[in-house]
Amino acid sequence: MTINKRTERTVAVLFLLATVAFMTGSGLIDSVLNQPDYLSHLYPNRMKVTIGLFLELLNSAAVVGIAILMLPILKQHNQPIAYGYLSSRIIESVLLIGGTICPILLVALSKQYISDGGAANSHFPIIGDLILVAQNNAFELAMIALSLGSLMFCYLLYRTRLIPRTLSLLGLVGYMALLFSSCLSIIGLDPGMLLFIPGGLFELIFPIWLIVKGFVPRSDGSN
C-alpha cells in the first residue's frame, strides 16, 4: 500500500480549514441571529452575515475535498465504506449549502421588516422563526449524514490501524455522540454542547497526527 504524503497533508489542512471556517462562520451569523429582535439587526449587519455564509460555504467545499482525497486510500481496504464516506460528505455539504439559503432569506425579510417599521405584531417574526427552524433542521440532518459516514470512516481506520486505535476510538465515540445529539435536536430536545466535545477533539487531533506522523501503511487489515 502506498500513500502520498502530500495527500495526507492536504487532508489534514482541509480538516482544520473546515473546522475553523465553520466555527467562525456560524459564530458570525449566530451573533446576529441570537439577538432578541434579530430581524432589526440582520439587514444592518448583512456584511457580517455574508462573511459568515462565505466561510460556511468554504467548509462545505472542504468536506467534499476531504472525502475525494480519501477515496483512493480507503478503496484499498474497503470500497463500500470508501464510497459510503464520500456519499455522506456530499450529502452533508448539500444540506449545509441548503441551510445557507435561510440567512439570505432572513436578510431580505429583515430589510422589509425594518421598512415596515418593525411592528412586533406583524407576520415577519413568525416567518423568520419558521426559516430558523428550517435552517436548524438542515444543519442537524447534515450532522446525521456526517456522523453516519464518519462512523464508517473511523471503523475502517480502527480496523486497518492507519492511525492509532485510541484515536480511531475517539472518533467513533465522538461521531456516535454527534449522531445522538442531532437526533435529540430534531425531536425537539436540547442536548447541549457536551456531546460535541469528543468529535471536536478528534477533528483537531486527527489532522495534527496526519501532519506529524501520517498514516501507517499496512499490507493487511489485521487486528
- Over the stretch 123-173, which tens digit does the pLDDT of each residue have? 888 999 999 999 999 999 999 999 999 999 999 999 999 999 999 999 999
Specify the pTM. 0.90
The span from the CA of 113 to the CA of 119, in Å, is: 8
Assess if residue 152 is contained within a domain: no
Assess if residue 111 is contained within a domain: yes
pLDDT reported for residue 200 = 92
Residue whose grid cell is 462512523? 151
Closest residue by Cα to residue 73 from 160, 150, 134: 160
Assign 37 to helix, strand or coil. coil
What percent of the chain clears pLDDT 90, i.e. is strictly above it? 79
Torsion sign over Cα 197, 203, 206, 208: negative
Q: How confident is the model at residue 179 (pLDDT cuts 50, 70, 90)?
A: very high
Q: How confident is the model at residue 3 (pLDDT cuts 50, 70, 90)?
A: low
Q: For residue 148, what is its C-alpha cell?
A: 453516519
Number of domains composing the chain: 1
The span from the CA of 119 to the CA of 9, in Å, is: 53
Over residues 100-121, mean pLDDT: 86
pLDDT reported for residue 222 = 43
What percent of the chain clears pLDDT 70, i.e. is strictly above it? 94
Assess if residue 29 is contained within a domain: yes
Closest residue by Cα to residue 193 from 206, 170, 177, 172: 177
- Within a 10 A sphere around the Cβ of 115, how many other Cβ atoms? 9
The span from the CA of 69 to the CA of 178, in Å, is: 24
- Within a 10 A sphere around the Cβ of 171, how many other Cβ atoms? 24
Over residues 14-27, mean pLDDT: 95
**pLDDT mean across residues, the chain:** 91
State the residue range of the domain holding 135.
5-142+207-212
